[in-house]
Structure 1
Amino acid sequence: MSVLDLARPEIRTLQPYSSARMEAGGGQIMLNANESAWAPHGDGGLGCHRYPEPQPAALLQTLAALYGVREEQLFVGRGSDEAIDLLVRAFCQAGEDAVLIQPPTFGMYAVSARIQNAAIIEVPLAGDFSLDAPALLAAVTPAVKLVFLCTPNNPSGQSIAHEEIERVAQTLAGKALLVVDEAYVEFSTQGSVADLIDRYEHLAVLRTLSKAWALAGARIGSLLANPQVIALVRRIMPPYPLPLPCVAAAMAELSPSGQAEAREHIAIVREQRALMQAALGQLPGVLEVLPSDANFLAVRFDDAGTVYQRLLQAEIVVRDIRRYPHLQNALRITIGTPKENAQVLAVLNEGRA
């Protein structure tokens, strides 16, 4: 059974839109796309009066090297959100198929499913936020086309062991596409499972430049998967998903000097995460600081609502995650600069004086 047998048949046979840039990529005089002949004011040589490459070759080459995959195993879009949306649309027939998620987890899996009118099957994480693999696999029905695993998980921060992900992948063969969201993997000591893609054609991995690579505002995310899955997603992608300024920002960040600086910042985050975990755990009113492999900490308070307002009054914004299962008394605190982290601790200490 091919992984494409899981996809919607009408998407497999869809004739994709052929953009002007796809049909003729370059030339001296470009008169095929109804663009302006003049660059906009302040363009700075970017050439924003021209449509960008749908999948820029230089960016694909750079990201493929960074993630350890081949270029034909890579799709680049507007953040991981776009890849999630395209996967749901490609694999889930509206009103018939389903996705399987493990709450508490990233909310866009369910949002994309609802937009597509796909059913959502929830198998909650265990009380310690570990994956309940037997329960997950038992919940897979013929309607389930996509299974999402988030590791490190958002909002709990915990990782799933590679061995457990591979066991799930083995069991799902021929049944569903396993999508592993690694948005925070750079902050973890556990590496990517992208090296399993060649072994399991129904495994896909989500990566992003928004977190460790400091490009949340540029919206660059990647899908790593079997070339057949990538080709399917490219059939339904927008004609020009990547704006030229965003591509330029990504190429600058992924230059040798940019990567070196980013890795320095990742090391600082890991160090500060450990310091913050210890310091927060000693504060009165803190019930628990959950272990985290990400760039944030989920913290349980005896009165999370009051703590949230106290921080807000000090112009410190954290994420209220009390709506999530098992996190009814928790806030999510991103690891900032050492100065910002110290300010958080100072406000919390003041409130308990």
Structure 2
Amino acid sequence: MFNINNIIRENIKNLKPYSSARDEFKGEASVYLDANENAFGSPLETNYHRYPDPLAHAVKLELSKIKGVPPRNIFLGNGSDEAIDILFRSFCNPGKDNVIIVPPTYGMYEVSANINDITLKRVNLTEDFQLNLEGIAEAIDENTKLIFICSPNNPTGNSINREDVETLLANFNGIVVIDEAYINFSRQKSFIQELTEYANLVVLQTLSKAWGLAGLRVGMAFASEEIIEIFNKVKPPYNINQSSQELALAALKNVTQVNEWIKQILSERDNLVLNIKNFDFVIDIYPSDANFILVKTTDANQVYNHLVNDGIIIRNRNKVELCEGCVRITIGTLEENKALLDSLKSYKN
């Protein structure tokens, strides 16, 4: 049975978080002389001389309407990378604990583990890029605190079988982290609807992909109220700046536009697959639930360099586990995809 008190680090249990001026006074006033801000304003058209809401309540309220999750179950971070780092710092003791990743997968899990001096256990996906449940079960020990699952997966693009994830959630006494950065492009429903079913579930999402806000660096974590309280305890006091909060809030009111872009991206993805599969240097195109495709070629390095010479940048995944010979191609606009195809037509094996 999962019990958060069994996995949280002792120093985090006893941590007294920093109390900012905006934590101690949350009402409205006519004169603010509490936070050592510059009362004269900013050298910009818009004033940013006041510290932002430490918990970005307005953004969480708008997200709550869209996601169907109470604000108390939402954490906002400086990208989802901040949420990943906080998971390590809250639940994993350096030099003692370990986490499990399932390569090929998002590279920041490993980087964050190394930064925090946490042992990383790799259990590769199967040949069809699904979980090796038997291998994961064998890798778990008493010091395993986190299992990271990216679904839809980066760089492969496929969604992970839901039943397999539920098996882990039901049987693992640590936290299962499901990274849904690309969920808006997927036919699979989000796991955020399962938060009340699994106390050990953390779902990561982002405004960087479908929402087109990569430059704002706003990531989301959805979890039980207990886990979110720990996130808020550990995070820096003002981790989401005022401009990002304002712009994110404005963007979240344009769901219709985002949904239209998603339809266009999915249509362009299908069109790109139909065209690319006809090239003689293409061995396979893997099924994708994301805004990119993974393409296995006869020579990934040559394909990549050819496109670079034409000013087109894709991602060479040739050195990634199970992705030998592969390149990852993000779905662009109609014009960008045409430029890609025109360049590939001139590629010589």
* TM superposition score normalised by structure 1: 0.96
Partner amino acid, structure 2, of 1:246 = S
Match of 1:99 in 2: 99
Displacement, 1:135? 1.4
Q: 1:327 aligns with which of 319, 323, 326?
A: 323
Partner amino acid, structure 2, of 1:112 = S
Match of 1:14 in 2: 15
Displacement, 1:110? 0.9
Displacement, 1:38? 2.1
Secondary structure at 1:145 match in 2: strand
Identity %: 37
Displacement, 1:2? 2.1
Runs of 4 or more consecutive aligned structure 1 residues displaced over 6 Å after TM superposition: none
Alpha-carbon separation, structure 2, partners of 1:271 and 1:6: 44
Q: Deviations over 1:57-93 (max 9, x none)?
A: 1101111222221111111011100000001100000
Q: 2:296 aligns with which of 284, 296, 300?
A: 300
Are the aligned partners of 1:86 and 1:233 in contact in 2 as well (CA < 8 Å)? yes
Which residues in structure 2 correspond to 1:149-160 (within 5 Å)? 149-160=149-160
Partner amino acid, structure 2, of 1:207 = Q
Greater alpha carbon shift after TM alignment, 159-168 vs 284-293: 159-168
Secondary structure at 1:178 match in 2: strand
Which residues in structure 2 correspond to 1:205-216 (within 5 Å)? 205-216=203-214
Match of 2:70 in 1: 70
Displacement, 1:275? 1.1
Greater alpha carbon shift after TM alignment, 162-171 vs 149-158: 162-171
Q: Deviations over 1:211-234 (max 9, x none)?
A: 000000000001100100000111
Which residues in structure 2 correspond to 1:303-318 (within 5 Å)? 303-318=299-314
Secondary structure at 2:181 match in 1: coil
Which residues in structure 2 correspond to 1:1-353 (within 5 Å)? 2-25=3-26, 26-44=28-46, 47-172=47-172, 175-255=173-253, 258-352=254-348
Alpha-carbon separation, structure 2, partners of 1:182 and 1:66: 15
Q: Deviations over 1:106-155 (max 9, x none)?
A: 01111111111010000000112111122112211111100000000000
Alpha-carbon separation, structure 2, partners of 1:43 and 1:179: 41
The 3 A distance-change label for structure 1 pair 4 and 271 is: farther
Are the aligned partners of 1:156 and 1:290 in contact in 2 as well (CA < 8 Å)? yes
Alpha-carbon separation, structure 1, partners of 2:161 and 2:297: 28
Structure 1 segments unaligned to the other structure (5+ residues): none
Alpha-carbon separation, structure 1, partners of 2:250 and 2:71: 19
Are the aligned partners of 1:4 and 1:229 in contact in 2 as well (CA < 8 Å)? no
Displacement, 1:161? 2.4
Alpha-carbon separation, structure 2, partners of 1:39 and 1:222: 30
Partner amino acid, structure 2, of 1:318 = I
Alpha-carbon separation, structure 2, partners of 1:68 and 1:144: 31
Structure 2 segments unaligned to the other structure (5+ residues): none
Secondary structure at 2:168 match in 1: helix
Alpha-carbon separation, structure 2, partners of 1:127 and 1:334: 22
* TM superposition score normalised by structure 2: 0.97
Q: Deviations over 1:40-69 (max 9, x none)?
A: 12232xx31011011111101111222221
Partner amino acid, structure 2, of 1:323 = K
Alpha-carbon separation, structure 2, partners of 1:328 and 1:277: 19
Alpha-carbon separation, structure 1, partners of 2:45 and 2:16: 35
Secondary structure at 2:335 match in 1: helix
Q: Deviations over 1:184-210 (max 9, x none)?
A: 000001110111111110111001000
Are the aligned partners of 1:100 and 1:147 in contact in 2 as well (CA < 8 Å)? yes
Displacement, 1:254? 0.6
Alpha-carbon separation, structure 1, partners of 2:3 and 2:297: 49
Alpha-carbon separation, structure 1, partners of 2:154 and 2:287: 12
Displacement, 1:328? 1.7
Alpha-carbon separation, structure 2, partners of 1:312 and 1:189: 32
Alpha-carbon separation, structure 2, partners of 1:138 and 1:277: 38
Q: Deviations over 1:13-59 (max 9, x none)?
A: 21000011111134211111111012212232xx3101101111110
Are the aligned partners of 1:319 and 1:332 in contact in 2 as well (CA < 8 Å)? yes
Alpha-carbon separation, structure 2, partners of 1:185 and 1:147: 19
* Cα RMSD after superposing both structures: 1.2
Displacement, 1:310? 1.1
Are the aligned partners of 1:4 and 1:228 in contact in 2 as well (CA < 8 Å)? no
